[in-house]
Each structure stands twice: as structure tokens, then as C-alpha cells.
Amino acid sequence: MKPSNAGRATIIGTVQDVSGASVSVTLKSDRSSGLSFVDGQGYRIGQIGSFIKIPIGYIDLFGIVSQVGASAVPETLAPNAPNGLRWMTVQLIGEGYRGGKFQRGISQYPTIDDEVHLVSEADLQALYGRLHQQNHLVRVGHIAGSESIDALVDINKLVTRHSAIVGTTGSGKSTTVAGLLNALSNTNRFPSARICVLDLHGEYGRALGDLANIYRISPDQHKNNESRLCIPFWALSFDELVRVTFGSLPPDGKARNIILERIAEAKAESIEKNGIQGISRENISVDSPVPFSLNQLWYDLYCTEFGTYYSSGNANPSDPATWAYESDADGNLLKGDAANGVPPKFRKVKNVKDDAEKINYLPDPLNIRGPLEALGAKLRISRYDFLLKPGAWQPDLEGVTQESLAGLLKKWLGSPRPITILDLSGVPSSMTKDIIGSVLRVLYDGLFWARHLSEGGRERPLLVVMEEAHAYLNDNFDGAASVITQRIVKEGRKYGIGAMIVSQRPSEINSTILSQCGTFFAMRLSNSTDRSHVTGALSDNLEGLTNMLPILRTGEAIILGESVRLPMRTMIQAPPKERLPDSQDPVVCDELPPQDSMNPGGWNIRRVEDSDYNDFVETWLQQSPVLSQKK
């Protein structure tokens, strides 16, 4: 069924070769100008990334132009190419009934000499859909080159089938994330939206402030949406806890087994003393998120490892009354303070033959002096308080806390605000990967077990945004973050937890994680290795389209995958200037005169010569860009 004469202005060529999803097309010889006019509007012919359609009966096949010119000539036809260099290669992507719904994939192939038509703006409107027609579509910007056509994404597929936002530094990646989150957290359309952002550099507080609760190690006390970041150590699994507290243990396994038994016993005693609902001594495990005193565990192990006792006579080394403590100048025994992480001081071993006072080490040392001293230091250093002294979630020596784990998860997942920002910029870099892995595992386990409840993931899905993902989602299979994220992207869809991976180096991200992302927002990528990883992770044969990535403008993205009907080159809608992420390039020299500029800095601004650097050093020491004592 050929189109009517009224539609023949859209014909640009004919099919000459079909190989799988790839179609070779010869252009009509009368299109010498490279332009075609339809309904008074001009269209460029043969633009890389543009759409074409091939009518077959009542069905239109749709494809994307991936090559133009001599390289598009099929190898078998190159010696006798009838039209010189006027060839195009098209990748078929889907089909649609006339005036009906578009669907990905094709049920039939074109044949030789089938007509190839350009896709007009009216066709694109029908293909991409309209926002008011379907509630699950979200506008994220407009089609590049056609501001009248909204770029719409399917929120169902975007969240549950996972997504990736990739682009070189300076391509507008953070601004794109902020724009997307603003669209997804529209409380009028999505009053129960639930998004958790892992913010490694503290970029999104300003961009999403009124939509988000922000948790950071040093919060700004003057902002009512900022609170202290607390990640209770007792909510971590045993392996996670050992990594961030003791570190490496002797390979013989003795110390590990002893610590495991003591933690399990401490949690069991905590349950009996505090009566935690839903669990008993019989069904507890060492990984159960039950409060216990890490300080007391450390103190007891320290005494076992460093302790000495008076061994003369019939002394019992298990009786603390026989332990050989040092004394201060007033004669007080230096027994230490478990609650404050102060270690006891023991007298040195003395086993002189003729001396009646004999002092020996306590039996059964674990050979973990180094890890115990390191943990003691962490208990005393405020930088680790977010984990080891987590505010209302810190257990006393009896394992009692002011707040429960349910209270913490309600703050993170049950707030009236749709977005929770966990600002991890103040977390010590040595444990960042482990902390991220622990947070992800807590979120996943909670949503997994609560999947049938109203606040579980099936009824109220959660989107987790992972910024700077290349730093912790690499192929280091010992990394806790990479392991749990692989589980999320493989199984999270069933339990209502989706991942949004944000990275400037997709080639450094674990290939399993990247391949499970159903939607890509591919921004400018100059590195060929990064581009090949994006191309390899896509289900469609769109290498020609991803070859455009080096020339995309700032803020422009090619959106591909399950959440869009067609791959589309899009200008992402950025937030207002006052709500941009705190990741913009510093201005070296403003274009405007100093008196007209809104920029507070730059090399062209004259500064006070006697300015001191006291605040400079203070922010560094506090590990916070905001001075806590400022009024």
C-alpha cells in the first residue's frame, strides 16, 4: 500500500539492501539540495541520528540514520554503486500502525525498492506522545532542534528497570540529575515519590533543598531540612562491621570467630534486657540489626589482649580483681573507660625468679593488638562519630538506644519530602566504599523483607541515585558497594528498588551493573573506551547514534532504552540558576564588570590584602564547608 500523492514529498529514497536490523538506502537523485519541504517546513535529509519510516501495508517501520555517504555503501554493491556516494545506513528500531501506537521491535522486514520517507514533526509528535495523554510519562526537556516536542520518559521503566547518566566532566551531568529529580519529585503528580541520593561531594543540597531532607556529618544548624548523618554500626552485617572497625584480622580465623561469638552473644543479651519486638534469642543471627555496645566489646577484647595479672599463689586470671593495673600519682588504678573509648593501662610482665610479685599476660591472646588500637582511636576521634557514636542510635553499655532502627528508616524513607540526600562528603575516604555498600545493603534488605507492606518497595518503590559511581562500582569484587549494587540491578525490580548510576567514566563501572541499566542518558563522552562501554550495554544496534556523543552540547543527552519510545537527542531542562548543583565551574574572569556581576569571585575582583586564613584552616579541620560556630 503506497502513500498518496499528497505524501510523496516525504520520499527521500528506496531500500537496496537488508541485513538483520541494518538497511541500506539510496537517496533520490532529485534531492540535490539536501532539503525537503513538507507543509511549508524544511527538513534536512540524511542527518545522522534523524528518523526515517518505511511504509509496509498498514504498518510503518521506523529507523535511525547511522551512516551517510561512501561508508554506507554495502560491501557487495560498492563496485557498482549506482548513485555514487548517495547512500544511507539505517538501523530499524520499531514499528507502528497508521495513527496507532508505536512499539519497539519489528514483525516484518522491508524489501528491495520499498520507499523510505523522512519523519515529519507531526509524525514525531505522534511517536513521542503527549504529556497530558498518559500519567506515567514525565517531561525531562525537549527534543533537540524541535522545542515544541516534549522529551518524555516512562517513569515506571526509568525507576524499576534502572538507568545510567554518563558524561564527561563539564557535560552537564549534575545539572541533568538535578533536573530529572525535580521532575520526578513533583509532589502534585507524585505525592508518594521516594528517592534517596548518595551525594559524595555535597552538590545537591542547594539544587533540591526544598524537596529534600539532607543528612550530613556537619549540618548547617540554621537550615530546618538539614540533620546530622547517623549510620548505626549495629545495623551493619558482621562482615561490614569488621571491615570498618577492626580492618584486617589474622588469617587463622581464631580472632574472627571469637569476635563473631561475642557480638552474637552481646546482641542476644541486648534482646533479653531490652525486649526488642519481632526477634528473640532463638532466631537472632550475628547479622541481625540489633543494638549492642561496641565500646564494651572493644574494652573486653582490649583487656584480653593487653591485660596482665598477678600470677603468684593461686591467682585466677579470669578474676579482674587479680589484674595488674597501673596506678596514677594518687594511687588510683587506671582501669580505663569503656564508654569513652579510654583503654586501661596494665603493668608490664614481671617474672623474676626471686621476686614474690610475679606478673603474666592473661591467657589466650588473639594477636589483634593493632586492630584493637586502631578501633580504640576511632572510638575517640569525632570524625567517626556518624558511625560509632550515631547520636540517638548509640547504645549505652547495656545496649539501650534512645531511637530504634524503625525511626531511622522513617526519616530516610518515610518523610513527607520526596528526596533524602545522604551527604557522604565528610566520610573518611578510607571507608567510603564500605559505608556506601552498607547503606545500600540496609536499604535493600529493608525493602526486600517489607515487600508486602504498604511502606515496602512494591507499593512505594524507591529510586537510589548513586553519584560518582565509578569510584565504588568497579570490578573490585571485594568492594561491598559493587556487590550489593549488582544484586540491586539484578533483583531489585521485583522488590521495588531501582538504581540510577551517575558517572563520568562508564568504562570503570562493573560491566554487569552497566548492562542491567535499561535506560541511558548519554551525554558528551570524548573517550572512545567510555563510548564503547555505553554502546556495548545497549540492547539496540545503535553504534552510529552513540558515535555522536563527542559532539553533544553541554546539557544535551541522547536518551536510549526502555523508558523512551524512540532514542532521542534531548536538551534536558535545567533547574533555575539559583537551584543549580554546587558543581558549576568557577568563574576565572566574569564577562560583566564587577559592579554588574552576580558572581562573588574571579581573578578580576580586587581582594583585601590582609585577609587571614583562619576560617580556611577551620573548615579543613572540621571537614565541613560550613563553619559550625558561625551565627
- Grid-cell match 608490664, residue found: 348
Residue 172 lies in a domain: yes
* 119 and 175 assigned to the same domain: no
Give this prediction's pTM: 0.86
Query: Between the ranges 133-137, 329-333, 579-583, 602-606, where is the mean pLDDT highest?
Result: 329-333
pLDDT at 130: 67
Q: Which domain holds residue 334?
A: 239-380
Residue 368 confidence (pLDDT) above 80: yes
Asked if residue 202 belongs to a domain, the reply is: yes
Flag whether pLDDT at 5 surpasses 60: no
What are the tens digits of pLDDT across the range 187-240?
A: 889 999 999 999 999 889 888 878 999 999 988 888 889 999 999 999 999 999
Q: What is the pLDDT of residue 584?
A: 67
Are 317 and 311 in contact, with CB atoms under 8 Å apart?
yes
Q: Quick one: 414 and 522 in the same domain?
A: yes
Report the distance separating Cα 493 and Cα 501, nearest Å: 15
> 540-583, pLDDT tens digit by residue?
666 667 778 888 888 999 998 889 888 888 999 988 877 788 76
Contacts of 266 (CB under 8 A, 6+ apart): 292, 293, 296, 297, 399
**CA-to-CA distance for 549 and 555, rounded, in angstroms?**
12
**C-alpha cell belonging to residue 223:** 537550615
Which grid coordinates belong to 54? 518505511
Burial class (CB in 10 A: 0-12, 13-18, 19+), 542: buried
Q: Would 53 be classed as within a structural domain?
A: yes
Whether residue 118 is contained in a domain is answered as yes
Give pLDDT, residue 335: 94
- CB proximity list for 520: less than 8 A, separation 6 or greater: 163, 164, 165, 166, 534, 537, 538, 558, 559, 560, 561
* Element containing residue 485 per DSSP (H, E): helix 480-495
For residue 502, with 0-12 CB atoms within 10 Å meaning exposed, 13-18 middle and 19 or more buried, which class applies? buried
Based on the domain organization, do 101 and 228 belong to the same domain? no
Sequence-distant (6+) residues with CB within 8 A of 187 are 193, 211, 418
Indicate whether 45 belongs to any domain: yes
**Is residue 352 assigned to a domain?**
yes
pLDDT tens sequence across 57-81: 888 999 888 888 877 777 766 666 6
Q: 94 and 106 in contact (C-beta within 8 Å)? A: yes
Question: Regarding predicted confidence, which is higher, 158 or 588?
Answer: 158
**CA-closest candidate to residue 175, choices 499, 590, 555, 586:** 555
25 and 168 assigned to the same domain? no
Task: Please report which confidence band the pLDDT of residue 28 belongs to, taking 50, 70 and 90 as the band edges.
Answer: confident
Residue matched to cell numbers 540529575: 177
Residues 318 and 424 in one domain: no
Residue showing cell 535529509: 45
End-to-end distance of the chain based on CA atoms, in angstroms?
A: 76
For residue 119, the domain's CATH number is 2.40.10.170
The residue that leads in pLDDT, 130 or 407, is: 407
* Residues 123 and 143 occupy one common structural domain: no
Phi, psi angles (nearest 5°) of residue 579:
-125, 25
Residue 42: the pLDDT is: 66
Tell how strand 87-97 and strand 22-27 pair up: antiparallel
Instruction: State whether 246 and 207 are in the same domain.
Output: no
Residues 117 and 164 both lie in one domain? no
From 108, 128, 148, the end of a domain falls on 128
215 and 246 fall within a common domain: no
Residue 436 lies inside a defined structural domain of this protein: yes
555 and 416 in a common domain: yes
Last residue of a domain, one of 128, 159, 187: 128
The domain tally of the chain equals 3
Q: Of 323, 346, 380, which residue is a domain's last? A: 380
Q: Tell me, yes or no, whether 616 lies in a domain.
A: no
- My answer on whether 245 and 228 are in the same domain is no
Q: Which of 210, 217, 214 is nearest to 196 (CA)?
A: 214
Interval 283-332: pLDDT, tens: 888 999 999 999 999 999 999 999 998 888 778 888 888 899 999 989 89
Say if residue 219 is in the same domain as residue 253.
no
Rounded Cα–Cα distance for residues 521 and 335 (Å): 59
Q: What is the pLDDT of residues 463-510, one digit of tens each?
A: 999 999 999 998 765 678 999 999 999 999 999 999 999 999 999 999
